Amino acid sequence: MKKNVSLKDIANQLGVSVSLVSYVLNGHAKKMRVGDEVAQQILDTAKKLHYQPNQIAKSLKSKKSQTIGLIVAEINYGYTAGIVRAIEAEAKKNGYTVIIGNSHEDLALLHEMIHVFINRQVDGLIIVAAEQAETEVQYLKKKEIPFVLIDRIFPSIESNFIGIDNHRVAYEAVEYLYKHGSRKIAFLNYETTFFHLKERTRGYVQAIAEKGLKYKNSMLREIRKSSYDADVEKAIRELTSPPLSCDAIFFATDTLAISGLKNLINLKIKIPADVAVISFDFAEAFALFACPVTHYRQPLAEIGNSAVKTLLDEIKEGKKPKWKQLYLQSTLVAGKSCRE
């Protein structure tokens, strides 16, 4: 078996002390006033000899595993892919490895993943929570485990959170449709207890009222996940037919937008001539539709970067956290689906 290269091997190669090599490879060269030339020689030699740090020994010494647990709601979501890339990149810059778990929007599985990661001794957790996960969040607080919630928040519980102002974006989406001539604006959302989705509904309802538009409960449809396809099909058919005959549909998520667009096409409804369309989120599948879809794009890279920085700040503090909640801006990407 090939012997692992040690700090002593590098030190012997260059004729310097083991402690000097350790300072440089642990990023303390400037602090310990190691000359630039010597530091570079040590780095070059470590690379040449294929030196790999003993992470177990390092973890025992620092009492840190240098790992972050990331639990996502569904790995196949477009939102998830962007977030994962950003979190992994920012974690790597700070010497951390990310371990990813997928809850599949299942509360029991989220509970299991949290305990798996705690047993793996991750230094902290970044979580896209499942619905009704308040108990799990309270558990993390009680155990003083550093964590950050992203995308989904439970307003009754103080915690670190990075996301967007869902109410404001939904309000602005209605304003945008109104500006481009829509007056009978329908809204499709999920039937849910999630606060962030309810905030999208609140933004829609408030904007409709403040624009002086006639609001009917039948213009707001909540889609059940248990009968998703049937509910979407029924909602689109009824919303686009008399007596409702909406002239615009605002979709609360990209998945709802894709399903809704498919149904509009099946009904031979022209977008935007007959019905304008706007989506809260972006999806790669929008490129498959003839009409470029107007949508709001979440700042995924910024959310991921901020989540890692917030978590590492708490890990380094090692004491009761000052809960940080950061709301970032979504960007409107104008297509041609709103009669622009």
Q: What pLDDT is recorded for position 48?
A: 86
What is the full DSSP assignment across 198-234? HHHHHHHHHHHHHTTPPP-GGGEEEE-GGGHHHHHHH
SS3 label, residue 190: strand
Tokens at 56, concatenated = 């177990």
> Nearest 5°: phi and psi at 26?
-100, 10
Report, as an integer, the average pLDDT of 267-283.
96
Which tokens sit at 37?
């030339």
For the ranges 40-49, 61-70, 140-149, 251-260, the lowest mean pLDDT is seen at 61-70
pLDDT grade, residue 79 (50/70/90)?
A: confident
Q: How far is the C-alpha of 299 from the C-alpha of 230, rounded, in Å?
A: 32
How many Å apart are CA 45 and CA 61, to the nearest integer? Answer: 24
Return the pLDDT at 1.
46
Banded pLDDT at 56 (limits 50, 70, 90): very low
Separation of alpha carbons 306 and 238, rounded Å: 42
CB of 14 within 8 A of CB of 45? yes
Query: Is the confidence at residue 69, as pLDDT, over 70?
Result: yes
Residues 219, 209: contact at Cβ < 8 Å? no
Could you give the domains of the chain? 7-53 (1.10.260), 63-163+300-328 (3.40.50.2300), 166-298 (3.40.50.2300)
Contact 325, 107 (CB under 8 A): no
Using a pLDDT cut of 90, give the percent of the chain over it: 72
Between CA 242 and CA 229 the distance in angstroms is 22
3-class state of residue 97 by DSSP? strand
- pTM for the full model? 0.81
Pairing of strands 331-333, 294-297: antiparallel
Per-residue pLDDT, 55: 53
**Peptide linkage before 272 cis (omega within 30 of 0):** yes
Q: Given a cut of 80, is residue 61 above it in pLDDT?
A: no
With a cut of 90, say whether residue 35 has pLDDT above it.
no
Alpha-helix residue ranges (DSSP H) falling in the chain? 7-14, 18-25, 36-48, 55-62, 78-93, 107-119, 134-142, 166-179, 195-210, 228-239, 254-266, 300-317
For range 82-102, the mean pLDDT = 94
User: Considering only CA atoms, which of 126, 212, 193, 202 is closest in space to residue 165?
Assistant: 202
Q: What is the pLDDT of residues 162-204, one digit of tens each?
A: 999 999 999 999 999 999 999 999 999 999 999 999 999 999 9
Q: Measure the CA–CA gap between 99 and 93, rounded to whole angstroms.
A: 15
Which residues make beta-bridge pairs with 279?
A: 251, 295
> HSE on the CB side for 183, CA within 13 Å?
4
The continuous run of DSSP H or E covering 98 comes out as strand 97-102
